[in-house]
Structure 1
Amino acid sequence: MTSRSHYYLQIKDLKHARGLELALSYDGAGPNDFAAALQEALRSPLLFQRWRAMQPDPEDVDERLGVTDQLASVSAKLVDLHTEVDVISSLPMSIIRQRLNWLIGANWQLHDVRPA
């Protein structure tokens, strides 16, 4: 059985947090929209497939970068002036980082990781 981890993240300014590539970037309005977008990016290969199609030689992209977790769950809430995000997934941090960067660039910070 694959172990699951609970990732605790923070986004200082979700309203302006966007990825560098407009075609992949998050375009929602609040914590719930972001949680849904990230959960979809972790559960479904669609965001990876869009990114892969943008590469100079899509066939050379390692398929393992498109791994998903059908049971991934994401919740987000506004706390003071920032957004707290909880992710529970069996995906490694490298994949979660990849999806976060596509969606909101470097506008997030990992605070803790614990077994789920």
Structure 2
Amino acid sequence: MSAGMIVLVVLNAAVSVGGMGFAAVAAARPTALRHGDSSTEGERLYAWMYAIRGIPFGLLTAVVPFLKHGPAAVLCLLAAAVVQVGDAWIGVHRHENRQIVGATLAAAIHLITAIAIS
């Protein structure tokens, strides 16, 4: 693996771990991502559902480019990019500039990594 590719897959892993961190924060304290004080039962349920899916998917997205370079790895990274585009759209809807920028950056990194390993 070239030095440039190593940097790219490490960067991809970093943004994946960041996404996992947000999922863990949401599960531990559902109001943290919406800047509130109290949460409802529904918010807690959806925060846990988000974490149950987001953490394993983030781990997969972080690890696969180190192990495999093929169609399955590309598909995983493209799916991660789509998820991040969705997160950016949610940020646009909520007027959360940090969410827009962070998710757009993560989507771009996942997409560039997918192209590089294809």
TM-score range, shorter chain: 0.3 to 0.5
Q: TM-score, normalised by structure 1?
A: 0.33
Structure showing the higher helix proportion among its residues:
2
For CA contacts below 8 A with separation 6 or more, give which structure has more relative contact order. Answer: 1
Larger-gyration structure (1/2): 2
- Which of the two has greater strand per residue? 1
TM-score by structure 2 length?
A: 0.33
